[in-house]
Structure 1
């Protein structure tokens, strides 16, 4: 069991008005240590991926442009247009190369570790929108793609990638949609950017998307877990699994309109862990500092075999009380349980007819393709 982290995330921000202005990975590290869940022997400092490793999928010109953007602190109009750097979504900030390269290095390292028997958690990873020659959707590099390629390089042929972020994993889909040896499963909010990942999309036959309706809750995710995720993984028999567990599907996130609790995400993590296959869990989206910190800390607790406490100890509570959410209404009067607990109260006790119909459609498709 290994937690891959880095101090590069502490104090690093995309800018004062960007959704990624909030702390995320440092909160998870600090909470996990305050709870006694992160002894030194389980923590690994993430390496920074070298350009040669990044060009396993990204173009050399793009990697060079990203390095130059960090060195110069700005980009030309030509680079902005070609590589989508220096845009409102993908701004140039002081660690614009080092930070995503560190996330990618952690995921590539994690791939080698899970093939040696470890379960790995890299909450700084999960940047699933990145494209070969462009930044996309806050993602400058695509560490899940690089991790899947590293698994291939390590001898794992049949792979599974499961993504429960609120946004469809368009970059990973771009890389592997035509590879039948890679199982791609994505749950994401319907009719939300990047507007890909339709129910009918099959790729080479192994792409399975469940667009969730606005307001989807815990029962919907449980139904997808039992009705699609676990059966598809079992049928595929992967040599290794990467799970992207973006916290933006949690109800209080400002960039989605889903209504999941963090417990719904934890249930997916626990169920996939219990399959007993090599597993790496990544972070991803999550733009409310309290909900993402609580959710991702609970994921590490689940992976490391700890019980979630009913009430946090004072040291952990102080970390959550020390967070702020400037410029957003959710930061004005946070509810008390965001400071004192990790687990959300369950919500969403019935399965949406939309989700029920989607699962029926996908079950019929699986039967036809069997």
Structure 2
């Protein structure tokens, strides 16, 4: 099989949602720079993301919404009516100079990935994973929903069994709203319970196509491993997907400011390592993540894992320089933990599996058995 491909763009460099927004931090540029500093991203494996055309976006999003998003970028403002209808110019989804071009580039990357996967393989689009976007409005920092566009494109290729797995700390409400009840689709989401957007309850079946496993605050690596081996992998094996879309939001790790889960990044690496062999096609996406060091290290480690590269215990100087150059207004002048700049792999964070996780998995396994 051909080597995995990485999709990136320079539009992420210097583009942010504003100085006070959680997405003021660099994410994709850190992954590109750190991967190159490690010698893991040769030119032959890199593809520049195209910007999705408006017509391609309307495979899911409404024409009126796409037009409103373009107009908001062009003029730098929206009317009260557009704000109310489309969720633009809010604290979560502010106006900024690249507010159409940047998400359209992320969407274009995921659509390109589906084309590159036509004959099999693995493609990584860390700028993707914007799973909260709705058909007619922005939501949760997500102006467009590239996972939905990718899933629809894969089905349009003639595939009949696809799986979407989402291990972001926040429930993939936009994907579920768009794709619930789709024949041949399996959706699995693990996410923090009682966390925005307050959807994805254990009893929510996504019209028979989904499994939602809310995780209690403080869930750690062993909770993640239990969910992976007792729920996610058995469900995938039973479904036998022709393609898997895996969203790996980095906000489930302990250091993230927008969740209270306590994973190390090893949980993500282990999930990828076990999930990737279960389908001939894998689209790996980014997602949430609001600590620049934990996001950059985690998403770079995913790229290493996808390629089978050994992750060293100590980084060479060029890689350290990439991480040392990062800053974060939320931390101010607070000293950074040494491992944020000297390593990629976190120290594991084990613990007893929470009773709520065992009970949730048991409930979902019983539901799975009833449908076999």
| TM-score, scaled to structure 2 | 0.98
C-alpha distance in structure 2 between counterparts of 1:12 and 1:203, whole Å: 35
Question: Does the CA contact (< 8 Å) of 1:216 and 1:348 recur in 2?
Answer: no
State the partner residue of 1:352: 354
Question: Does the CA contact (< 8 Å) of 2:244 and 2:279 recur in 1?
Answer: no
Quick one: which of 80, 86, 89 aligns to 2:89? 86
Question: Does the CA contact (< 8 Å) of 1:218 and 1:348 recur in 2?
Answer: yes
Question: Does the CA contact (< 8 Å) of 1:104 and 1:141 recur in 2?
Answer: yes
2:263 is equivalent to residue 260 of structure 1: yes
Deviation of 1:221 (Å): 0.6
2:185 is equivalent to residue 189 of structure 1: no
Quick one: which of 338, 341, 355 aligns to 2:340? 338
Question: Does the CA contact (< 8 Å) of 1:3 and 1:42 recur in 2?
Answer: yes
C-alpha distance in structure 1 between counterparts of 2:106 and 2:319, whole Å: 25
Question: Does the CA contact (< 8 Å) of 1:324 and 1:331 recur in 2?
Answer: no
Cα deviations by residue, 1:193-221 (Å, 9 ceiling, x for unpaired): 00000001112222101100000000001
C-alpha distance in structure 1 between counterparts of 2:364 and 2:208, whole Å: 11
Quick one: which of 150, 153, 158 aligns to 2:153? 150
Question: Does the CA contact (< 8 Å) of 2:242 and 2:279 recur in 1?
Answer: no
Residue ranges of structure 1 left out of the alignment (5+ in a row): none
- Secondary structure at the residue paired with 1:91? coil
Quick one: which of 113, 129, 134 aligns to 2:132? 129
Cα deviations by residue, 1:124-182 (Å, 9 ceiling, x for unpaired): 00000000000000000000000001101112121100000000000000011112411
Quick one: which of 250, 253, 261 aligns to 1:250? 253
Cα deviations by residue, 1:286-345 (Å, 9 ceiling, x for unpaired): 00000000000000000011000110000000110100001x137621101100000000
- Secondary structure at the residue paired with 1:302? helix
Spell out the pairing of 1:66-81 with structure 2 (5 A cutoff): 66-81=69-84
C-alpha distance in structure 1 between counterparts of 2:313 and 2:225, whole Å: 22
2:47 is equivalent to residue 44 of structure 1: yes
State the partner residue of 1:164: 167
Question: Does the CA contact (< 8 Å) of 1:259 and 1:348 recur in 2?
Answer: no
Question: Considering only aligned residues, what root-mean-square deviation do their CA atoms show, in Å?
Answer: 0.9
Cα deviations by residue, 1:211-257 (Å, 9 ceiling, x for unpaired): 00000000001001111111111111111010000000010000000
State the partner residue of 2:119: 116
Deviation of 1:185 (Å): 0.1
- Secondary structure at the residue paired with 1:329? coil
State the number of aligned residues. Answer: 369
C-alpha distance in structure 1 between counterparts of 2:255 and 2:97, whole Å: 29
State the partner residue of 2:313: 310
- Secondary structure at the residue paired with 2:190? strand
- Secondary structure at the residue paired with 1:119? strand
2:228 is equivalent to residue 228 of structure 1: no
Residue ranges of structure 2 left out of the alignment (5+ in a row): none
C-alpha distance in structure 2 between counterparts of 1:269 and 1:41, whole Å: 22
Question: Does the CA contact (< 8 Å) of 2:240 and 2:278 recur in 1?
Answer: no
C-alpha distance in structure 2 between counterparts of 1:55 and 1:86, whole Å: 21
* Higher deviation after alignment, 25-34 or 107-116: 107-116
Cα deviations by residue, 1:90-140 (Å, 9 ceiling, x for unpaired): 001000000000000000010111222220000000000000000000000
State the partner residue of 1:20: 23
| TM-score, scaled to structure 1 | 0.98
C-alpha distance in structure 1 between counterparts of 2:321 and 2:49, whole Å: 26
2:212 is equivalent to residue 238 of structure 1: no
